[in-house]
Each structure stands twice: as C-alpha cells, then as structure tokens.
Amino acid sequence: MNEIKIFSPATVANVACGFDVLGFCIDTIGDEMVIRKTEEKGIKITKIEGYDLPFEAEKNVAGVSALAMYNDLQPNCGFEIEIYKKIKPGSGIGSSSASAAGSVYGMNELLGRPLDKTKLTYFAMKGEALASQCEHADNLAPAIFGGFTLVKSASPLQILELPTPSDLFVTLIHPQIEIKTSESRAILPKEIPLSNAIAQWANVGSLVHALHTSDYNLIKEALHDVVIEPYRKQLIPHFDDVKNAALKAGALGCAISGSGPSIFMLSKSEDTARNVEKAIRKIYSNTDIVFETYVSKINVEGIRAL
C-alpha cells in the first residue's frame, strides 16, 4: 500500500473535571487526510484545504509529528501529506490534534504498523506541542484510541482506555471565535485551593467509575469543573446561559470543550441530545454570534481509514 485516506476525528479534552487527562472522541466531525509514500526522502505537506495553515512541515503540527516519527524510524522512503481541514483551528475540539495524530497514524499504516497506539500518541504529542506550547495528550489519546481515555502519565506516556456507556451522546456548540490553547492556558492560576482539588479529584474518580458501571446518575454528579471553568468561562460569550439551558433540557452535564470556545454536553439518548441542541441554539440565535451545533455518538474506533 502506497497511499491511505483517513478520517481524523474531533475530540473533547478535559471532560469537565479531568483537565489535561480525560478526553473522548467524536464521530461526526473530523478532518480528512491523505498520506502517500514517496521515493524522495523527507516529509512534505503538499495540499491544505479548508483553512489557511503553514505548508512548511516544521510549522504545521501534522508535519512536526510526522518528522518526529520519521527521524526516529528512518524509513527507506519519504511521505507526502494532504490535509482536508474541517475542524476550525482554535475551536476547542482538537483541531491541532486531528492533524498531529492523522499524519503519524497514516505513516504507521503505510509502514506496516511498526508502532503501537501509545508510541503514535507519543510522536503526535511533539506536533501538538507546537500549537499549545506544552506536550499534552488529552485530545490525541481519544483520537488515536477512540472512546474515552485517561492519560495516566505524560512522561513516561501511559494511557488508559475507559469504557463508553452505549446510550451516551454528545451535543456541541461552537461559537465561531478563535481561542488559542496557549492563551487560555496562560490565564489559569498556578495554584489551586485544597478544597477545590479535593472536589475535582473526587469527580474524576467518580466519572471513571461511572463510565465503568454505566451509571448515568453518577456521570451527572461527576461532570463538574471547579478548577478551570471559573477562569475560562469569561472567554466564552453566554457560557452560563448555554449551560443553564442545556441542563434544563435534560443534559447530564455541560462544560467547556478543551480550551474553548466550544461547549459540550453529554446526554443519555440521542433524543435528549437533540432536545439539548435545540435549547442551546436558542441562546446564540438571539445574538449576532455565528455558531455551529453538532450531535454525535461517542466514536469508539478513533482515527480510521476511509
């Protein structure tokens, strides 16, 4: 095989309480990429459609992760990368991760799968670091493994795959403003009160247990973020109104997706997720903010060949 076309999905990082460790994978939104073997050595980005992003491999997250893997494996060929970008950069649903993960996934397939998923995530983190100025894997792990994931440790990298309750659906609203991950990390406090830390790690543990036991009531109780949301929500117009409307419409929980501006809600059943979508659309419809909404099941497969 000399060429592969892939779907590289959007992802939700943090999942309310799990800043930098929890994430899950979305099914209906994602980039497409084509990775091709070439006789000429090296990594080249030959096509980018959708958004204006750098073609130089060293300045594009897809190129940086590809180069990290390429320099390590030193294969007897080169690679061309085409990116058909559907996820707006700075959206909070893992735009940079989709590219960083997609290039290494495609190269690994073309080379006969020499690397496991953890090693792919490791190289993809090198690309992600270009966008967010720190190596974190909470978008990459769900993109590569699918479903819900927990990054137990970033160095050495250790990823836990969590189960996905079958009735869980996500609703997303993406106000079309750009929030750079690096900027929304810069506003966070360096220290947090012990009482908030206790509440947050109780919620992370509870959410992991709830996913294992398909306990939707416990998912609802655990989907709270007392550490990050109070700071970041100021960057997102009408965040509290959207959250109140979503919870009133039956969502189990509602929080900032990754570093924002997207907001996600989890619901038990697709019907509830669609009712939530209707309710939150009303909030932004009364403003001049351009926005998109999506409803999706959880993507348990992750990146896939098309």
Ligand X SMILES: N[C@@H](CCO)C(=O)O
Binding mask 158-197 for ligand ATP (x = CB under 6 A): ----------------------xx----------------
| Residue 102 binds to ligand ATP (criterion: CB under 6 A) | no
Active site residue 183: no
Q: How many residues does the chain have?
A: 306
How many angstroms separate the Cα of 257 from the Cα of each of 143, 174, 223, 276?
A: 14, 9, 12, 16
Partner that binds at residue 20, options ligand X, ligand ATP, none, CB closer than 5 to 8 Å by kind: ligand X
Query: What does DSSP assign to residue 177?
Result: -
How many angstroms separate the Cα of 84 from the Cα of each of 3, 4, 77, 80?
A: 15, 13, 23, 13
| Residue 210 binds to ligand ATP (criterion: CB under 6 A) | no
Shortest Å, Cβ 77 to ligand X: 32
Partner that binds at residue 146, options ligand X, ligand ATP, none, CB closer than 5 to 8 Å by kind: none
Please count the CA atoms within 13 angstroms of the CA of 209 that sit on its side-chain side. 11
No. of H helices and E strands in the chain? 10, 11
| Residue 99 binds to ligand ATP (criterion: CB under 6 A) | yes
Active site residue 128: yes
Alpha-carbon distance of 29 to 180, in angstroms, equals: 20
Closer by beta carbon to ligand ATP, 96 or else 206: 96
Closest to 44 (Cα-Cα) out of 30, 58, 32: 58
Among 9, 18, 23, 90, the residue binding ligand ATP under the rule CB under 6 A is 90
Active-site amino acid positions: 128, 181
Point out which residues bind ligand ATP (CB under 6 A): 13, 53, 60-62, 83, 89-97, 99, 131-132, 139, 180-181, 258-259
